[in-house]
Amino acid sequence: MELNVNRVSLIAFVVSLTLTGTAFAQAAAMGSFLGGAATAFAAHESGHLLLDVAFDAHAGFERVNAGPVPFFAITHHPVSPVREFAISSAGFWVQHAGDELILARHPRLRTEGTPFLKGMFAFNVLTSVGYSVAAFARRGPLERDTRGVAAAARIAEPWVGAAILTPALLDGARFYVPDNGWLKWASRAAKAGGVLLIVRAAN
């Protein structure tokens, strides 16, 4: 009887260690994923700040509300339409460049054990989707990026939403179908098209 009890205790101990180890591993992966998302967020905002400084636009911070959630927006003094377009687009440009770097080095990201990169990628794609929804609805803080791009390029904001949503959806498809060359080049063309809208802001 004592042998059986000891055997059961040993099995229970091994199972508890396994479950605890699995829980720690899952928590670590989640922490890494969230760290990647936070890094992508910081990169997005840094893109705005970098061009604010480059254009001597006197960047500042202003409290805004994203629905019921208090948040902040990076503001700047009035600048020319071309500079406004670049500053407002900078966060998206950083996201697009980041996704290209990630998918170029990790084309099969979905099956890799890289939660940090997956967090960055998820933030970039989902943020673009969120901005596009706000652009289609023309809702949200006045300081939203899509509104700044639309005003600078003198086009309706929903068109900017479409320009942001298209590469996000294509990159999402690339995540699930990594070997499709058409998706890769369509995504890159959509990103380049969004950048070329700056020509309209210049005229």
* Tens digit of each residue's pLDDT (9 = 90 or more) over 34-83: 999 999 999 999 999 999 999 988 877 777 665 565 666 777 888 999 99
Domain for residue 18, yes or no? no
Q: Band of the pLDDT at 9, cuts 50, 70, 90?
A: low
Domain for residue 157, yes or no? yes
Domain for residue 13, yes or no? no
Contact 118, 33 (CB under 8 A): yes
Sequence-separated (6 or more) residues with CB below 8 Å from residue 88: 48, 145, 146, 147, 148, 149, 152
Domain for residue 28, yes or no? no
The dihedral built from the CA positions of residue 110, 162, 130 and 47, taken in this order, carries a sign that is: positive
pLDDT of residue 75: 76
Q: How far is CA 189 from the centre of its chain?
A: 19
Domain for residue 109, yes or no? yes
Q: What is the tens place of the pLDDT at every residue in 84-142?
A: 999 999 999 999 999 999 999 999 999 998 999 999 999 999 999 999 999 999 998 88
Query: Which candidate, 87, 4, 1, places its Cα nearest to that of 46?
Result: 87
Q: How many domains does the chain have?
A: 1
Residue range of the domain that includes 49: 33-202
Per-residue pLDDT, averaged over 19-43, amounts to 83
Domain for residue 108, yes or no? yes
pTM: 0.83
Polymer length in residues for the chain: 203
Query: Which candidate, 160, 167, 147, 5, places its Cα nearest to that of 64?
Result: 147
User: What's the rounded Cα separation, in Å, for the pair 106 and 183?
Assistant: 15
Tokens of 146: 């899509």
pLDDT of residue 81: 93
Q: What is the tens place of the pLDDT at every residue in 159-192?
A: 999 999 999 999 999 999 999 999 999 999 999 9
pLDDT at 198 over 70: yes
Domain for residue 2, yes or no? no
pLDDT at 156 over 60: yes
pLDDT of residue 100: 96
User: What's the rounded Cα separation, in Å, for the pair 66 and 44?
Assistant: 17
pLDDT at 145 over 60: yes
pLDDT of residue 104: 93
Domain for residue 1, yes or no? no
Contact 33, 119 (CB under 8 A): yes
